[in-house]
Structure 1
Amino acid sequence: MSVVFQSAAWKKLVFAGCVCLWACQAWAAGDEAQESAAAKSLLTKAVAHYQQVGDKALAEFSRQGEFVDGERYVFVTDTNGVMLASGGPSVVLIGRDVSSVLDPDLQKAFKDVLKTPESAGIQQAEYRWQNWRDGKVERKHVYFQRIGDRILAVGYYLPRASPEQARALLDKASKALEQDQDGTLESINNLKGGFLQDDLYVFVVDVGTKRYVAHGTNLRLVNTDFSKIKDPEGKPVGIPMLEMIKKQPEGEYEYRWRNPVTGKIEHKHAYMRKVGDFLVAVGYYNG
C-alpha cells in the first residue's frame, strides 16, 4: 500500500514539474513573440513614414521619439553599408561603413543583407551585438526592409538561450574535458574561453570532494561546497544533483537561479552529465 502511494505521489510530483516547465517555456515563447511583433510593427511604421517623406525621416529616426521604443529602435544603412540613421547607441556609426566594426564572420552575412532586392519585403536575420544597457554581447534578432538604396531595420535582443543550445554547450564541455581536463577547466574559469554564451555557462563539480572546480560566471564559487548550495527560496540544489549523478550518467534538475544576463531570479532547467570524476552541468533559463 505504501509503495503504491509513493508511486502515485511521485507521478503527481513529476507531472506538476512538467506542467511548470511547460508553462515557463510557453511564457518565454510568448514574451519573445511580443518582442518580435513589436519590432516588426515599429519597422512597418518606419517604412511607411520613409515612403512618405524620404530622407527627411533619417533625422527623426536618429533622435528620441516615436521611432524609439525601449531597446527597440530604427536604424538605416545605404546599400554600401554606411550607417545613415540610428535611434540607439549605433548613432555613433552614422557616416561610417558598418562592416568596419563587424567581426569577420558577420561581414559576409552583412554584405548579403545589402544585396536584398526591394521586392523581397520584410526580411529577418540574427547576429550578435553589444547591448548598450548591460554592455554584453548578446544575440539580436532583426527585421529589415529595403526601400530604394536604403535598408531600414529594427532589432530586439534574445537574452534567453534555448534548450538545444544548452545541450550543445554541455556536449562541447564534456568532450573538451575528456580530451584536456586541466585546459578545459582553465578555459571555463577564464570566462572568455568559449564556454560562456549569452545566459548559458558551464559549471563543474568534483563528485568526490563535492566542490566546484570550475564556474562559468562566478569564480567565487570555485572550491566551495556544492552540496550546500540552495536556490534563493531555500530549495536544495547541490545535494539532489549529486545524488542523481551518482545513480545515473546523465540527469536534469529544475530550480531557480539568477540569470547573469537579465539579472533576475528565474526558473532554470539544468542538464548534467558525469564525465570521469566530475559532474558537468549547463542550464537554460525559462523565465
Structure 2
Amino acid sequence: MRSRLSIGKLVAVLMAASIFLSGCHHWMKNHSYMDGYSRMDRAGRSDRPPARQGWPKADRAGYTVAMVGKALRIYDAKGREATVDYYNSPESVDGEWYVFIADENNDLIAHPNPDHLGENLMGPLGVDITGYRHGEEIASATAEGKWVDYIFLNPATGNQEYKHTWVVKHDGLIFASGWYQVLPSLALAVTKAQPAEYTVAMVDKALRYYKAHGREAAVAHYNTPESVDGEWYVYIFDENDQLIAHANPDLLGQDLKEGLGLDSTGYHFGTDMLEATAEGLWVHYVFLNPATGAEQTKHSWTVRHDGLLIGSGWYE
C-alpha cells in the first residue's frame, strides 16, 4: 500500500491539474468570440475572419473556433463532397490544428488520419486512455457549439496530450477542431498500470458527465454495466447517504452509515467516507471486487459535489 505522503502528493498533483482544466474550460466557455461565431454560423454571415487571419495561433481557443468557422464557410460555399475531400487532404492540416467531420450516424468522414475514417464516435475512437467517453460528448453538440476536453494523439508531436475540441453541428454533420496542451504533472499517460491516478480520472470523468447531463442521466448511466471498466466503477450516494448508483444493483438504497459502510474487519469506512469534501478524500477498506469475486483491499477516491458523494476505487 502506498504511503499516505505519496498518495497525498499524487492527489495534490491530480487535483491541481483537474482544477486547471476546469478553469481553462470555464475561461473558454465564457469568451465572447465563441458565442459570436455560433451566432454568425446560424445567420450564415460571410464576413467571418479566416482562421489564419482572424486569430493568432497564440490565442489557441480563438484560432480553433476560427478553424471550425472556416470549415463551415467552405461547406456552405462548396458543398459536402468538396468539403470532405479537402479535410481529408494533408493541405488542410495546419500544424496541430485539423478539422474532422462526422456524418449523421456519427461515423468519421473527414480526418487527416485515414485510418480513422469510418470509425464511429460511439466506438473505441471516442474513448480516451483514461476511459472517458468523449465521443458521446462530441456527438451531442448543437449549432450553438460546445467544448469537449479529452486526451488524444497530437499528430504534430506524436504524443498523447490533452485536447480541447470545439464542436458544432451543422446541416446534420459534426464539424470540429482542437488544440493540444501538455500537462507534465499528469505525465500524459494515465493508464490502469497507475491505479490511483486512473481512479481519480474515473471520478473526474463522472463529475464531467454529471455536469454535462445532470443528476438523473448520471445516476442512470452509472447503474449500467456499460459504465463498468474492469474493477473500476463509479458509485454515487445521495444527500441522505443512500446509495443511488453502483455496479451491483443489490446494494442500491443501502445507507453508508449502516451495514454497507462496515467492512469484514469491523472498520466503519462509511463514517470516514462521509467526511469527503469537494477536495476529495482517500479511504482504504475491504470490499468485494466484482472483477474477481473476492474480498480485497479497496482504495477509494470520493468527492462531494452538489450534495452527492461520487467516487471510485481500485483493489489490491
Q: Which of the five TM-score ranges fits, normalised by the shorter chain?
A: 0.3 to 0.5
Which has the greater radius of gyration?
1
Q: Which has the higher strand share?
A: 1
Task: Work out which structure has the larger RCO, using CA pairs closer than 8 Å and 6 or more positions apart in sequence.
Answer: 1
